Chain A
Amino acid sequence: MTDSKYFTTTKKGEIFELKAELNSDKKEKKKEAVKKVIASMTVGKDVSALFPDVVNCMQTDNLELKKLVYLYLMNYAKSQPDMAIMAVNTFVKDCEDPNPLIRALAVRTMGCIRVDKITEYLCEPLRKCLKDEDPYVRKTAAVCAAKLHDINAQLVEDQGFLDTLKDLISDSNPMVVANAVAALSEIAESHPNSNLLDLNPQTINKLLTALNECTEWGQIFILDCLANYTPRDDRESQSICERVTPRLSHANSAVVLSAVKVLMKFMEMLPKDLDYYGTLLKKLAPPLVTLLSAEPELQYVALRNINLIVQRRPEILKHEMKVFFVKYNDPIYVKLEKLDIMIRLASQANIAQVLAELKEYATEVDVDFVRKAVRAIGRCAIKVEQSAERCVSTLLDLIQTKVNYVVQEAIVVIKDIFRKYPNKYESVIATLCENLDSLDEPEARAAMIWIVGEYAERIDNADELLESFLEGFHDESTQVQLQLLTAIVKLFLKKPTETQELVQQVLSLATQDSDNPDLRDRGYIYWRLLSTDPVAAKEVVLAEKPLISEETDLIEPTLLEELICHIGTLASVYHKPPSAFVEGSRGVQHKRLPGSAGSGESESQDTGSAAGVTEAPPAVIPSQGDLLGDLLNLDLTPPTTTGPPPPSSGMQMGAMDLLGGGLDSLMGDESEPLGGDLGGSPAMGAGFSAPTAAMPASFNAPVSGGLDDLFDLGGGVGLPMGAYTPPKTIWLPAMKAKGLEISGTFVRRAGVIQMEMTLTNKAMSVMTDFAIQFNRNSFGLAPAGPLQVLTPLSPNQSIEVALPLSTVGPVMKMEPLNNLQVAVKNNIDVFYFSCQYPISMLFVEDGKMERQVFLATWKDIPNDNESQFQIKDCHLNSDAASNKLQGSNIFTIAKRTVEGQDMLYQSMKLTNSIWVLAELRVQAGNPNYTVCLKCRAAEVSQGVFQCYEAVLKN
């Protein structure tokens, strides 16, 4: 007799038949009938009509039948809440049954019936079961408390179940402890601020004891809970680590990963010179390696986690390179992850081995894998300088195979190698050129064109090569078109005599026949550059390129820290914070790694003890999410790709011809990569058209010769910044504005930012109807009121105006950051100018950070965001400097003297709540100061430094 027949009866009148059977007297028949009902339920048939009949079968002492009925109840009670009440009595009775199995079954099922009306009946039985003598009942009741909380949180609190749950943490049965921990953790997540899971050394001790005894699944709950604890000092953290370490050899990979998470987190607190630290590092490697012997699904998840661990602590696995070698029968997603980790672990010591492997991979069958392997070779060359030569020769070997996609990938990475090691490997260009015809992918074509343009002087037939691409110009993708344009301009600048025709052809193709604004803009810019001042053009287009960096695909440090706290979870697989994919309150708190107690050489003596270092300061510092949000806003709000930014929508000044007349005066702020160099990342994910903000600094200087009128507007403004109030400078000369001259400066008075201007009428006629508008800017500066020029301005008359500014206007990142574009209107016309304000204007009065917070924040900001500057020829002592800076809202928090050197720790806060932390070093008798700046938004550092210089020197 088999159960499969239940699935096959699909006659009419089935419900009726079942009803009859359910009401049968015979127990066996009843059981069969309930089974049939559940079978129908599984395949999705609606059998809710049988609800009363099934509930009638509930009163039975046959446990098997009872379980079946309960199964049915759980499924349909929600759709039939009124009927579900019928079952309550039996539940309550069952909770008193002498058989613990029945008591547990009843309390478990009641919790799963998510009907509000039932909850009040649930309280009494639950209270009893939480204190039941049988651990099986208690552990079921503990979970039931979490279920009830999900339905009615208030009720659970009112009934005092939370306290009972807390008591269960000390239960003698480890299974009960584990479930209580799980229940409390879940409840605590929906109350982030409640102190439900009050983790203190005593409870931690209890948990660690239970850890040794409970089931593997219970161990996971407990370890995950431990990971949320922050030990008080390194000794406690070491003792917890010691007790968690044995879990690393557990057979269940989930236990292992949870243990790794705890260890990775608590390791942060251990001083690196401790012997135990080294021991722990060694112990972490074998379990991670073991994970790679699991089935591919688990391997993939493990590799994603290892990828994070390797970025955080490469030393753990540095000797285990071989286990990441690819097996031929690995699925492709495992292969790609392994490849990524191989490159992260590549170093001078093992590069030969890695290269030999990669070369093998590059001849495999799977196209995706081969491509990635070829790229990996390029990344190795960029990462390990000593290997570059070998990498290049390996790539050349691969090009010899003439396999189309291998050749293309190789050319793309060789271009990156050229960028990294200029003038070293150009001898291979000839080989590359042989393969020109076989390239059909845009990225490879673009890379090849870049190479031809960059090294045009070495390639005899460069003009022919480029000309051949030009024929199908309009069929090419944008990145190829842009690259071709730049390459031909480069070629022209290098060999002007024979390529004039070519460059004219490409310029007209780009500017006249193309619909792509990026291409047109770049074409026009080249055109003007070339026609006004070819020398300047040469300096711009053929300027020295910045070297590309080694690792561009690292996860951003703060995100990495958060992800490390989520090892073993989905977040670590997606490499996204949980808030990115979990809705609601659950799991959205950002987790942080604790600060290291031992490594804080300079700061820890100030605070005395390390306690409290790790109290994250969410109240003062915008949480990471917010800050990122802010920065993203800066980057994303405006359409930056096309020409100058359009005026903000609120402007009332009639027709603004920004693109026409305004273009010239605004072009200095254009942030397109005019040099036309590739994005410059080895990963090359970003195409050519991605706007990078890299070039303007070097761009300004050489160009100003040819494009005078672009820069004399803003040219004088930027640098000489007064101490507190920079002296007025001329922003808008009269000859540019039909007789209106504007000079001005920025002041911060009593917390209000003011723009103080002198308007002078140098024209022959009276000026009236003044109005002012700002373009969107980095810090959202906007006029807080209208421009107060009440009387008409007669010829040769001047007027002083103070315009209060607010910082709530629309935001757009500018280059430089403190650039402000202004439009002023009067009865004659609209005039545009741009000026730069000192960042110190934005320092708010409450910018003094708590010492502790300062310390934690300083550590929290990754070192990459630190920048160091020198201030020369400053003859103040440290106290005077501190006072002077305080006047500009740069607050000194602590001062230390080490070997005659004063160190001032200072903080300031910008109007948009970005904190900047500084360390100012003053050596007695040495006029040169050193300023170290740390800020989550590293872009502001330059501006802040300028303020330091300006304030201290005036």
Chain B
Amino acid sequence: MISQVFILSSKGDHLIYKDFRGEAGSDVVSIFYEMVTALTGDQPPVVMVTPCSHKDLHFVHVRQGGLYWVATTTADSSPFTVVEFLNRLTALVKDYCGTLSEKSVQMNFALIYELLDEVVDYGYVQTTSSDVLKNFIQTEAVSSRPFSLFDLSNVGLFGAETQQNKVAPSSASARPIQSSREQGGKSEIFVDVIERMSVVIGSNGVLMKADVQGEIRVKCYMPSCSEMRIGLNEEFSIGKSQLRGYGAAVRVDECSFHQAVRLDEFDSHRILRLCPSQGEQTVMQYQLSDNLPSAPPFRLFPTIERDNGGRLLMYMKLRCDLPPKTLSQELSSPDQSAELKPQSRAVVWEIPRFPGGTQLSALFKLDVPGLSSASMLEVGPVGLSFELPKITATGLQVRFLRLSPVQPGPSQRWVRYVTHSDSYTIRV
């Protein structure tokens, strides 16, 4: 049971405060802010207050859009519920107000109060589905800047089509869902396949661990969309034993679906059927541990030694093993940079672009006082963070995206793929 919900700016200003159960006063808001700002990095996020007003009050918070989204509870309720709820709330506010920021929350406080009223009753979460909520919500969203699909950056000289216009404009998904009704804006739907990779490669180059966590996210700006069908790779299989045929099967270990997804065609044809509600939702989440279908995208060949002058020499050769693209524009050496961060005892090597099938190398020379052979043990590991557009590590693809009935008027459907590094570690 949630006792109160409040939203604070990063400076501690009260933006929204709603009390559901009358169990504690509004003074706890400032108590929370004091606590959260005093928090050191190693303290877990479920924080507890010393007894105030005769009861122990537990704060659970998430940080989104530079704001603190906080819920309090006095009972032994589930922190999972509260965190999930807060995440949904931020998603809802983002859907309704377009963006998440101090300004948008401040401008739409009446709308957010109304949302909170419908979403939570007496501390019990009622619904967080924008489909249900649209029946109840009366207040109109106020948008800070009028939304324009034609962001200048996406249009080439003299309006000519550039290569980029095959990619949905990045700002396209940052607008309130409701506005599409009135503005008669384009009805659009985005299907994003997002994967995060965690990889550990041992010092001998052996792949020790590789995990992929993926999700399919649908962002819908259709005023009415009765059904959408997402077809995945037909060879898609779930579980460790289930491998069909000889082809390059796409396999995941475990899959979970949004409860609105109907799976009657999933077993036979790998089709997800759903009626997307307006706004953003995660339709499917999946994960794969070890046994990646392809080799990890990056390999590193480090040489670390001590030179006569007591300096530490680190020679790094980094290879990108992605299939090379013939159309790559990157011919000259990229403008890389490297920096020594003494505080975290790390060298940061930034590579803006790294085409597939190429190799980069770098030599770092460090003056380390009192360098001994034992301290060579302390070097490493190397952590990589990157983003790979248009690639999924599992090989998952969206075969087709069908809407039925066919939408009247122009409608756009976008499918985007991206793989992020979650924790990509190479030991040396």
Q: B289 touching A322 by the CB < 8 A rule?
A: yes
Cβ of B87: which chain A residues have Cβ within 8 Å of it?
295
> Quick one: given A42-B16, A258-B78, are A325 and B256 in contact (CB under 8 Å)?
no
The answer for the CA separation of A300 and B253 in the assembled complex, in Å, is 22
Residue of A nearest to B373 (CB): A400
The answer for the CA separation of A256 and B289 in the assembled complex, in Å, is 20
Cβ of B127: which chain A residues have Cβ within 8 Å of it?
175, 215, 217
Cβ of A368: which chain B residues have Cβ within 8 Å of it?
42
Q: B287 touching A289 by the CB < 8 A rule?
A: yes
Q: 1/0 contact trace for B334-374 toward A, CB 8 Å?
A: 00000000001110000000000000000000000000101
Cβ of A286: which chain B residues have Cβ within 8 Å of it?
253-254
Q: B378 touching A329 by the CB < 8 A rule?
A: no
The answer for the CA separation of A32 and B375 in the assembled complex, in Å, is 68
* Residue A425 CB within 8 A of the other chain: no
Residue of A nearest to B213 (CB): A293
The answer for the CA separation of A75 and B76 in the assembled complex, in Å, is 25
Q: A68 touching B83 by the CB < 8 A rule?
A: no
Partner of B78, one of A182, A297, A568: A568
Q: A64 touching B46 by the CB < 8 A rule?
A: no
The answer for the CA separation of A538 and B375 in the assembled complex, in Å, is 44
Q: A101 touching B136 by the CB < 8 A rule?
A: yes
* Residue A257 CB within 8 A of the other chain: yes
Cβ of A216: which chain B residues have Cβ within 8 Å of it?
128, 259
* Residue B166 CB within 8 A of the other chain: no
The answer for the CA separation of A954 and B284 in the assembled complex, in Å, is 75
How far apart are A250's CB and chain B's nearest CB, in angstroms?
6
DSSP class of B's interface residues: helix, strand, loop or mixed?
mixed
The answer for the CA separation of A44 and B15 in the assembled complex, in Å, is 10
* Residue B171 CB within 8 A of the other chain: no
Chain B contributes a number of interface residues (CB within 8 A of A) equal to: 93
The answer for the CA separation of A363 and B46 in the assembled complex, in Å, is 29
Partner of B106, one of A4, A147, A578: A4
Surface stretch bound by B, among A330-338, A622-630, A818-826:
A330-338
The answer for the CA separation of A253 and B42 in the assembled complex, in Å, is 24
* Residue B84 CB within 8 A of the other chain: yes
* Residue B152 CB within 8 A of the other chain: no
How far apart are B63's CB and chain A's nearest CB, in angstroms?
9
The answer for the CA separation of A549 and B372 in the assembled complex, in Å, is 38
How far apart are B291's CB and chain A's nearest CB, in angstroms?
12
Cβ of B209: which chain A residues have Cβ within 8 Å of it?
322, 325
Q: 1/0 contact trace for B72-87 toward A, CB 8 Å?
A: 0111111111011101
The answer for the CA separation of A39 and B124 in the assembled complex, in Å, is 25
Residue of B nearest to A294 (CB): B83
> Quick one: given A38-B110, A42-B17, A578-B76, are A215 and B129 in contact (CB under 8 Å)?
yes
* Residue A114 CB within 8 A of the other chain: yes
Q: B117 touching A328 by the CB < 8 A rule?
A: no
Q: A571 touching B45 by the CB < 8 A rule?
A: no
Surface stretch bound by A, among B315-323, B324-332, B401-409, B420-428:
B420-428
Surface stretch bound by B, among A51-59, A582-590, A714-722:
A582-590
Q: 1/0 contact trace for A554-598 toward B, CB 8 Å?
A: 000000000000101111011000100111101100000000000
How far apart are A22's CB and chain B's nearest CB, in angstroms?
16
Residue of A nearest to B128 (CB): A217
> Quick one: given A2-B107, A329-B423, A330-B423, are A290 and B256 in contact (CB under 8 Å)?
yes
* Residue B303 CB within 8 A of the other chain: no
Surface stretch bound by A, among B48-56, B229-237, B389-397:
B48-56
Q: A71 touching B79 by the CB < 8 A rule?
A: no
State which residues 165-203 of A face B: CB under 8 Å: 175, 179, 182, 186
Residue of B nearest to A291 (CB): B80
Q: B124 touching A217 by the CB < 8 A rule?
A: yes
State which residues 40-98 of B face A: CB under 8 Å: 41-46, 48, 51, 54-56, 58, 62, 73-81, 83-85, 87
> Quick one: given A298-B83, A300-B46, A569-B77, are A251 and B257 in contact (CB under 8 Å)?
yes
How many A-B pairs fall under 8 Å by CB?
230
Q: B76 touching A566 by the CB < 8 A rule?
A: yes
Cβ of A325: which chain B residues have Cβ within 8 Å of it?
200, 209
> Quick one: given A67-B114, A301-B83, are A583 and B256 in contact (CB under 8 Å)?
no
* Residue B411 CB within 8 A of the other chain: no
Residue of A nearest to B30 (CB): A44
Residue of B nearest to A217 (CB): B125
Residue of B nearest to A360 (CB): B427
Chain A contributes a number of interface residues (CB within 8 A of B) equal to: 96
> Quick one: given A252-B84, A333-B42, are A4 and B76 in contact (CB under 8 Å)?
no
* Residue A323 CB within 8 A of the other chain: yes
* Residue B190 CB within 8 A of the other chain: no
Q: B22 touching A78 by the CB < 8 A rule?
A: yes
Cβ of B285: which chain A residues have Cβ within 8 Å of it?
251, 290, 293
* Residue A384 CB within 8 A of the other chain: no
* Residue A327 CB within 8 A of the other chain: yes
Q: B76 touching A570 by the CB < 8 A rule?
A: yes
Q: A573 touching B81 by the CB < 8 A rule?
A: no
Q: A44 touching B43 by the CB < 8 A rule?
A: no
Residue of A nearest to B80 (CB): A254
Q: A400 touching B374 by the CB < 8 A rule?
A: yes
Partner of B126, one of A217, A296, A574: A217
Q: A301 touching B41 by the CB < 8 A rule?
A: no
* Residue B1 CB within 8 A of the other chain: yes
Q: A328 touching B107 by the CB < 8 A rule?
A: no
Partner of B142, one of A2, A146, A570: A2
* Residue A238 CB within 8 A of the other chain: no
* Residue A19 CB within 8 A of the other chain: no
* Residue A402 CB within 8 A of the other chain: yes
The answer for the CA separation of A6 and B56 in the assembled complex, in Å, is 35
How far apart are A94's CB and chain B's nearest CB, in angstroms?
15
The answer for the CA separation of A217 and B110 in the assembled complex, in Å, is 24
* Residue B138 CB within 8 A of the other chain: yes
Cβ of A251: which chain B residues have Cβ within 8 Å of it?
256-259, 282, 285
* Residue A653 CB within 8 A of the other chain: no
Q: A297 touching B83 by the CB < 8 A rule?
A: yes
Cβ of A365: which chain B residues have Cβ within 8 Å of it?
344-346
Residue of B nearest to A297 (CB): B45
* Residue B14 CB within 8 A of the other chain: yes
Q: 1/0 contact trace for A290-319 toward B, CB 8 Å?
A: 100101111011100000000000000000
The answer for the CA separation of A322 and B113 in the assembled complex, in Å, is 44
* Residue B242 CB within 8 A of the other chain: no
Q: A587 touching B75 by the CB < 8 A rule?
A: yes
Cβ of B109: which chain A residues have Cβ within 8 Å of it?
3, 6, 38-39, 42
Q: B81 touching A254 by the CB < 8 A rule?
A: yes
Q: A323 touching B211 by the CB < 8 A rule?
A: yes
Q: A249 touching B22 by the CB < 8 A rule?
A: no
* Residue A693 CB within 8 A of the other chain: no
The answer for the CA separation of A475 and B380 in the assembled complex, in Å, is 39
The answer for the CA separation of A257 and B81 in the assembled complex, in Å, is 9
> Quick one: given A401-B375, A402-B372, are A3 and B46 in contact (CB under 8 Å)?
no
Partner of A3, one of B43, B108, B257: B108
How far apart are B13's CB and chain A's nearest CB, in angstroms?
8
Cβ of B44: which chain A residues have Cβ within 8 Å of it?
300, 333, 573
Q: Can you give 13 A-B contacts (C-beta < 8 A)?
A: A38-B110, A64-B114, A71-B117, A179-B121, A179-B126, A220-B78, A251-B258, A254-B84, A332-B41, A363-B380, A569-B76, A570-B77, A571-B76
Q: Which residues of B contact A (CB under 8 A)?
A: 1, 13-17, 19-22, 26, 41-46, 48, 51, 54-56, 58, 62, 73-81, 83-85, 87, 103, 106-110, 113-114, 117, 121-122, 124-129, 135-136, 138-139, 142, 144, 196, 198, 200, 209, 211, 213, 253-259, 282, 285, 287, 289-290, 344-346, 372, 374-375, 377-378, 380-381, 383, 422-423, 425, 427
- Further 20 A-B residue pairs, CB within 8 A, beyond A101-B136, A327-B422, A568-B79: A71-B117, A108-B121, A215-B126, A216-B128, A217-B81, A217-B127, A220-B81, A258-B78, A298-B80, A300-B45, A322-B290, A365-B344, A400-B377, A401-B377, A569-B78, A581-B58, A581-B76, A583-B51, A583-B54, A587-B75
Q: Which 3 A-B pairs have the closest CB atoms?
A: A327-B423, A254-B80, A578-B76
